Amino acid sequence: MEPAIPDLRNTPKAEAYAALRDMQALLLEGSTDVIADMATVSALLHHAFGHLWTGFYRVVEPERLLRVGPYQGSLGCLEIAFGRGVCGTAASEKRSIVVADVHEFPGHITCDPRSQSEIVVPVFDARDRLIAVLDIDSAIHNGFTEDDRDGLESLMAWFRRASYVPLSA
């Protein structure tokens, strides 16, 4: 039986992310399926923090195109070009981006009009290739901090360590 996902909304960030890292390690130990891992991490984060949208956009054409992957929440955009919006910018620059007010971000792509703030973290594999970005939207203005960036980057480091079996074409 899998452990219940705790509500961490009122837990100090460092403590919350430490608990999630422990759960991630427990749940994903021995996994060789990147999609299953992304689905599990999406559920962990979404239910622990109660975000509006939590999920991955996978790199399907390196340096060109992201496609929606496992997620929790309302409908996501199906595809995002590198360099477009917060996700595409984070992918092309290979860096995390914290956006306090999505309406102030040039070229922001509105998938859900309730979104007020956003954080996007790049996901790399063991060969240091960008494989996805983690995207989280909040209905709260200024909903993410540098503590969230640090915590999410530490969770995404899992994908660098994991040994994945290539997906069948």
Q: What is the pLDDT of residue 169?
A: 43
The verdict on residue 49 lying in a domain is yes
**Range of the structural domain that residue 42 is part of:** 13-161
Q: What percent of the chain has pLDDT over 90?
A: 80
Counting the structural domains of the chain, the total is: 1
User: Cα(47)–Cα(30) distance, rounded to whole angstroms?
Assistant: 23
The verdict on residue 3 lying in a domain is no
Q: Which band of pLDDT confidence, cut at 50, 70 and 90, is reported for residue 36?
A: very high
The verdict on residue 55 lying in a domain is yes
Domain CATH number, residue 157: 3.30.450.40
The verdict on residue 137 lying in a domain is yes
Assess whether pLDDT exceeds 60 at residue 48: yes
The verdict on residue 5 lying in a domain is no
Q: What is the pLDDT of residue 111?
A: 78
pLDDT, tens digit (0-9, with 9 covering 90-100), for 50-79:
999 999 999 999 999 999 999 999 998 999
The verdict on residue 8 lying in a domain is no
Q: What is the pLDDT of residue 1?
A: 56
Q: What percent of the chain has pLDDT over 70?
A: 95
The verdict on residue 97 lying in a domain is yes
Selection from 99, 158, 101 nearest residue 126 by Cα: 158
The verdict on residue 169 lying in a domain is no
User: Following CA atoms 13, 143, 95, 123 in sequence, which dihedral angle do they give, to the nearest 10 degrees?
Assistant: 70
Q: What is the mean pLDDT of residues 42-57?
A: 97
